[in-house]
């Protein structure tokens, strides 16, 4: 089985279209989305429609949570809050109802999907430090947990119970589609982030997604160029903060 995992689209239609085209060309059996389809970018409704069309599993991220619970906007940074309030004016009641049906966590036979962390998923912890990773591994029993939220491709392994080790991923290849590969070792458990489709923060502006292969068990991190200038122009034309446009160019 081959599965595509995407996350953190953030209303960036051009990035999402590039990723979906690459997913189609690559060939997969299913597409899973780990949340934050909306927020920051200028095309929340179009992105929502596309993920609903193409994804078998859709999760709520913190931006969907804030859409449904506006009081939670107060916890966001000022730029994110401005974008969230703008996004709320661009979605219909039917679209909100659709988002309300998305779960925070999805558990399968040997994998768990979540936006932030399997540890207290509604609090949207960032899995960036050792103590966060240790808490995450204690919170699930499956072989692998896929997460988003940080916008940075990353992986960590639990070699033996309680012993967590971050994995240094290789650099993306310089091909037209940048690739990195990670073989999954039998007996280990993993937490994995495939990166952000629409607002990367790994100093690489390309749109990211993750291809999961079952046999042999392997992860392929993929990075795609897209028309950033179009996305930037839309953000500025919408009157959203200029920072949301400029950061796309630098992947920050």
- The total number of structural domains that make up the chain: 1
Please give the residue range of the domain that contains residue 226.
2-250
Q: How confident is the model at residue 129 (pLDDT cuts 50, 70, 90)?
A: confident
Q: CATH code at 36?
A: 3.60.21.10
Q: How confident is the model at residue 209 (pLDDT cuts 50, 70, 90)?
A: very high
pLDDT recorded at residue 227: 98
Q: How confident is the model at residue 162 (pLDDT cuts 50, 70, 90)?
A: confident
pLDDT digits (tens, 9 = 90+) for 70-83: 999 999 999 999 99
**Does residue 183 contact residue 131 with C-beta atoms inside 8 Å?**
no
Q: How confident is the model at residue 15 (pLDDT cuts 50, 70, 90)?
A: very high
Which residues, in sequence order, are CB contacts of 189 under 8 Å at separation 6+? 137, 142, 143, 144, 157, 158
pLDDT digits (tens, 9 = 90+) for 214-248: 988 999 999 999 999 999 999 999 999 999 999 99
At 199 the three-state DSSP class reads coil
For 107-116, what is the mean pLDDT?
A: 95
Backbone angles phi, psi at 78, to 5 degrees: -55, -40
């Amino acid at each position: 089985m081959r599965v595509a995992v995407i996350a953190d689209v953030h209303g960036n239609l051009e990035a999402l279209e590039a990723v979906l085209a690459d997913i189609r060309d690559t060939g997969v059996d299913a597409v899973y989305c780990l949340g934050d389809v909306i927020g920051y970018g200028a095309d929340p409704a179009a992105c929502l429609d596309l993920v609903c069309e193409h994804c078998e599993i859709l999760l709520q991220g913190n931006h969907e949570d804030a859409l449904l619970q506006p009081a939670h906007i107060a916890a966001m940074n000022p730029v994110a809050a401005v974008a969230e309030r703008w996004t709320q004016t661009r979605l219909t009641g039917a679209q909100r109802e659709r988002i309300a049906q998305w779960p925070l966590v999805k558990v399968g036979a040997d994998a768990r999907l979540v936006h932030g962390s399997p540890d207290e998923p509604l609090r949207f912890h960032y899995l960036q430090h050792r103590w966060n990773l240790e808490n995450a591994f204690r919170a699930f029993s499956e072989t692998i947990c896929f997460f988003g939220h940080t916008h940075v491709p990353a992986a960590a392994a639990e070699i033996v119970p309680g012993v967590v080790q971050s994995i240094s991923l290789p650099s993306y290849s310089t091909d037209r589609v940048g690739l990195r590969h990670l073989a999954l070792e039998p007996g280990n458990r993993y937490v994995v982030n495939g990166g952000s489709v629409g607002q990367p923060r790994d100093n690489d502006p390309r749109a990211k997604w993750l291809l999961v292969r079952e046999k042999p068990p392997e992860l392929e991190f993929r990075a795609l160029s897209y028309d950033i200038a179009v996305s930037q122009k839309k953000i500025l034309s919408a009157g959203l903060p200029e920072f949301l446009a400029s950061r796309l160019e630098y992947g920050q």
